[in-house]
Amino acid sequence: MQRLGRIALVVAVAVMVSSSALAQERQQRQRGGFVGGFGGGTLFLLNQKSVQDELKLSDEQVKKAKELSDKQRASFGGLRDLGQEERRTKIQEQAKATEKAVADLLKPEQLKRVKQISLQQQGARALSTPEVATALSLSDEQKTKIQSIQQEARGQRGQRGQGAGRPSEEELKKREEARNATNEKVMNVLTAEQKTKWKEMTGEPFKGEITRPQFRRPQTSQR
């Protein structure tokens, strides 16, 4: 149970870091800073070999990216005993510091490309963020439609449930098909002009492999 609690804390903090970082991204737009949650966050991506190769990171950049990631993970433990408001403040401070560190670490073209990869990894979910919605000039009607599609997708995931242990190849394939279907529905909400803008924001398709963390559910004892 203690291990499960630690996992839950890390995931919750990652989500909160993503939200607070996105709120700051407008001020950091010129510097290209972007920090998100698992799967799309800059720091997470910078520790992927495929992304390191794509960006042509130097050995020193790879080393510093790992140090930043280790530092961020270590800071999660110190948030466990804080109150909600104090924790939120600490997370916002950490998000700012991480964005600055990443911006200082990468060259402008590397920052631009990793942000494109981040948006690609987030897919349709990125359209729910205020920054992307503003960049695409989404109408209120479009925002409502997108929210409805994503809520339906979450409901379907809940109905399928999540089994214990590592998912099978068949389950991973079904999840990927469901994500693609949701992305297609969301993209169909956009106008031709907005689709063109989205393509500019995401850049050339990233073909490298991204390894995501797999959290195993604890096995319940049988009596």
pLDDT tens readout for residues 88-127: 888 888 888 888 999 999 999 999 999 999 999 999 889 9
- pLDDT above 50 for 29: no
Main-chain dihedrals φ then ψ at residue 46, nearest 5 degrees: -65, -15
Compute the mean pLDDT over every residue in the chain, rounded to the nearest whole number. 79
Predicted local distance difference test score (pLDDT) of residue 201: 96
Q: Residues of the chain with pLDDT > 90: what percent?
A: 43
Please give the structure tokens belonging to residue 169. 């190849």
Residue 94 DSSP one-character state: H
- pLDDT above 80 for 218: no
Q: Please state the rounded mean pLDDT for residues 155-175.
A: 71
- pLDDT above 60 for 10: no
Please give the structure tokens belonging to residue 46. 């910078």
Please give the structure tokens belonging to residue 81. 């005993």
pTM: 0.71
- 137 dihedral zone (left: phi>0; alpha: psi -120 to 50; beta): left
Cα–Cα distance between 177 and 95 in angstroms, integer?
A: 32
Q: How confident is the model at residue 214 (pLDDT cuts 50, 70, 90)?
A: low
Predicted local distance difference test score (pLDDT) of residue 114: 96
